[in-house]
Amino acid sequence: MQRREFLKTSALAGSAYFLFRKQALAATADAHIEVLVNEPIATIQPEIYGHFTEHLGGVVYDGIWVGEKSSIPNIHGIRKELVEKLKAIKAPVIRWPGGCFADSYDWKDGIGPRDKRPRRTNFWVDDPQAKKLPNDAVQKYEPNTFGTDEFVQFCKLSNADPYIAANLRALPPLSFDQWVEYCNSPAHSTTYADIRAAAGYPEPYNVRYWGIGNESWGCGGNFTPEEYSNEYRRFTAWVPDYGVDPRFVASGPNEDDVDWTTQFFEDILHRRPIHPPYGWSVHNYTNALEALNFNDQDAYSLFYKGTSTERIIQNMWTAMGVFDRDHQTRMVVDEYGPWYGAGTEVDPTHIFGQQITMRDAIVTAFTLDIFNRHAEKVCMANCAQLINCIDSLFIAHEDKFIVTPNFNVFEMYAAHQGAKAVRAEFSAPSVGFTDIVKPDRWGPPRGGERSVQRSLNGLMGSASVNGKQLTLTVVNPSLTDARDTQIAVRGGSVATATATVLAASDIHAHNTFEQPNAVTTKSAQATASGSTVAFAFPPMSVTKVEITLS
């Protein structure tokens, strides 16, 4: 919203306007942010900062799992450095086993002695990258070395909750019931509890989050919304809670498919009502051709595509509210992030692996800001994916391990977890560009290639308050212009202000095994006075401003 429009409609117009105008002119700032600490939105659920792992490429094997006998430092076969980094960013929840892999997975293949577990065809076996690999590659034929026990232990080591996606396409509801029983039934209560105990885990796992299918409109069964709602009824009709109170996440639409959402909720809440799901899954990828070979126009185009997440959230919320007027169901954006074509993965086994640049960090950051601004609507999100795949936080191969700029974003934004989101208004010169709408990795758009004039908000971000701590995160998407900014804190006085900045001189900047710290965060000076803070946001940057309120 432009500042002039905001001031016309805001209840703060009048004396507050002239005070802010005076301060802004004195500071000669070209951008303004107003944080209204007394206008809360909702608590930011920590689960918004969740992650996603699939048996795809190098995510599990070479990423998470290295094996107990590996010379690579590990904890019961799980990469130790990965666990330590997840704890550092307070990773709240991890989704598994997919993704599309989930709807080809029989959970019983992944329990019991590892040397007795069967090998199965991986869902991704026919991907062009997978076809280039030898037939003994774990990326083509799944060894099931990493199963339910290993995943839950990975979560426990990382202090994260497990979020398990059930196979709705190929297995019956009884199998789902038994998976919940294996995970949650009390010690010595059932045969599955005994099998769990024989693996060394007598106490229940207490898994709360269960996805009822995955992308059921596509790889998860090619269902119509009416067909999927019937399956959802069957899978949730009887699932013992074992004192855990399971939270079911229904398989929502691809991107902005409002019809899928409308028909599902009309069926389960209107035609013959049942208890609404805890969460409504939404997937939204930002697609482009190249991870490293792109120009400024390509970068702006990707940023513009990424902002569609906000529109999708708003449209889904409206569609759900027609039938769920009390909004008992909230959104779970359990797959999101930039996705490119092959060519920058660090090893051929890393199917869908890609380098992560400052461009990706900017998209990831403003996506998290979108979730924060809609904290009353979004209860969980899972960045796709955690390691060695798509929008990853980490890249690993054998004994090599690095963090990507996305890790720095999650590290900076961790302060938002559990805090109260408050309203913040941003006003800055917009970034205009010519968008050449052209074929991406999913095929050409309708109408062929064409030029469109577009603009991006000059600054984007979100704010939250936790006690006396105000956290403001800000993205400057301009590749050339810094933003001298006056930050006004409405409803509080500023005692101190510090800043942490993730920026680079080149939007293509990224970390490699040879240069693991090419992109990293740095401290910066923020000037506090009364109820204002002055700060210059560098071009193509992500910044956290931590303000202590007096």
At residue 325, does pLDDT exceed 80?
A: yes
Q: Which residues have C-beta within 8 Å of that of residue 63, sequence separation ≥ 6?
A: 53, 79, 82, 386, 387, 388, 389, 394, 396
Query: Residue 25: what pLDDT?
Result: 36
pLDDT band at 449 (very low <50, low <70, confident <90, very high): confident
Do the first three CATH levels of 3-43+423-549 and 46-417 match, i.e. the same topology? no
Question: How many C-beta atoms lie closer than 10 Å to residue 129's C-beta?
Answer: 17
Mean of pLDDT over the chain: 93
Query: Residue 440: what pLDDT?
Result: 55
Q: What is the mean pLDDT of residues 18-33?
A: 57
Using CB atoms within 10 A of its CB, is residue 75 exposed (0-12), middle (13-18) or buried (19+)?
A: middle
- For the entire predicted model, the pTM comes to 0.93
pLDDT band at 6 (very low <50, low <70, confident <90, very high): very low
Strand bridging mode 209-212 / 161-165: parallel
Query: Residue 8: what pLDDT?
Result: 37
Contact 272, 424 (CB under 8 A): no
At residue 531, does pLDDT exceed 80?
A: yes
Lowest-pLDDT range, 8-12, 256-260, 400-404?
A: 8-12
pLDDT band at 26 (very low <50, low <70, confident <90, very high): very low
Q: Where are the domains of the chain?
A: 3-43+423-549, 46-417
What fold is seen in the domain 3-43+423-549?
A: Immunoglobulin-like (2.60.40)
Q: CA 432 to CA 2: how far, in whole Å?
A: 15
Q: What is the mean pLDDT of residues 355-362?
A: 98
At residue 23, does pLDDT exceed 60?
A: no
At residue 16, does pLDDT exceed 70?
A: no
**pLDDT tens digits for 147-203?**
999 999 999 999 999 999 999 999 999 999 999 999 999 999 999 999 999 999 999
At residue 5, does pLDDT exceed 50?
A: no
> What are the tokens at 504?
């680079």
At residue 10, does pLDDT exceed 50?
A: no
pLDDT band at 20 (very low <50, low <70, confident <90, very high): very low
Lowest-pLDDT range, 219-233, 428-442, 450-464?
A: 428-442
Please provide the CATH number assigned to the domain covering 46-417: 3.20.20.80
Using CB atoms within 10 A of its CB, is residue 418 exposed (0-12), middle (13-18) or buried (19+)?
A: middle
Q: CA 80 to CA 55: how far, in whole Å?
A: 19
